[in-house]
Amino acid sequence: MRLISRMIGSGGLALGLGLAPAMGWAEPAAAQAAASPAGAPAGEVQVTVLGVTSPFFVFGIVKRLGQIPGVQHVSFNLLHGRADVQLKPGAVVTDDDLRKAVRNASYSFGGIHWIRRPGATDSTTAAGVAAVGQGTK
């Protein structure tokens, strides 16, 4: 029991000290975007993920999307089932990469909305949104 309370304590301490962003899921994507080098705008995409219901299950989808080469940061909005994915400057990530990551996380793919494609100069070049519906197996 002492071990358990010690582990709980260290987890809570990590959050309290602001170490949570280092774990990869607590910092808003907008804050990361500001850190992108000038002249090489980073891509940003929103992925609708169906089936995610609580923070404990957010872990899997954030890790799966974060595994894609070129992804810098992922955050998740539970209410809208939306993953905000921030790419590294110059990184190329395809819709298929995102789709596969969602399925590997054991969730269903709901849609993709590119806020800024890699290399685009402004958000007017955003691509379309895939239809959002129920995902079944």
DSSP-derived secondary structure letter, 42: P
* Closest by Cα among 115, 39, 124, 113 to 81: 113
The whole-angstrom separation of Cα 76 and Cα 85 is 9
Question: Which of 36, 59, 117, 130 contacts another protein by CB under 8 A?
Answer: 59
- Sorted by sequence, the CB contacts under 8 Å of residue 75 that are 6+ apart come out as 25, 26, 27, 28, 29, 62, 83, 84
Q: Of 37-45, 49-57, 89-97, 121-129, which segment contacts another protein by CB under 8 A? A: 49-57
Residue nearer to another protein on the CB measure, 58 or 87 = 58
Nearest-approach distance from CB 8 to another protein, in angstroms: 6
Question: Which of 15, 31, 40, 127 contacts another protein by CB under 8 A?
Answer: 15
Q: Which element (helix H / strand E) includes 11? A: helix 2-16
The whole-angstrom separation of Cα 33 and Cα 56 is 26
Q: Which of residues 60-79 bind another protein (CB under 8 A)?
A: 60-64, 67, 75-79
How many other C-beta atoms lie within 10 A of the C-beta of residue 123? 12
Q: Of 7-15, 39-47, 86-94, 114-122, which segment contacts another protein by CB under 8 A? A: 7-15
Residue nearer to another protein on the CB measure, 13 or 40 = 13
Binding site for another protein (CB under 8 A): 1, 4, 7-8, 11, 15, 20, 23, 25-26, 28, 48, 50-64, 67, 75-81, 103-108, 110, 132, 134-137
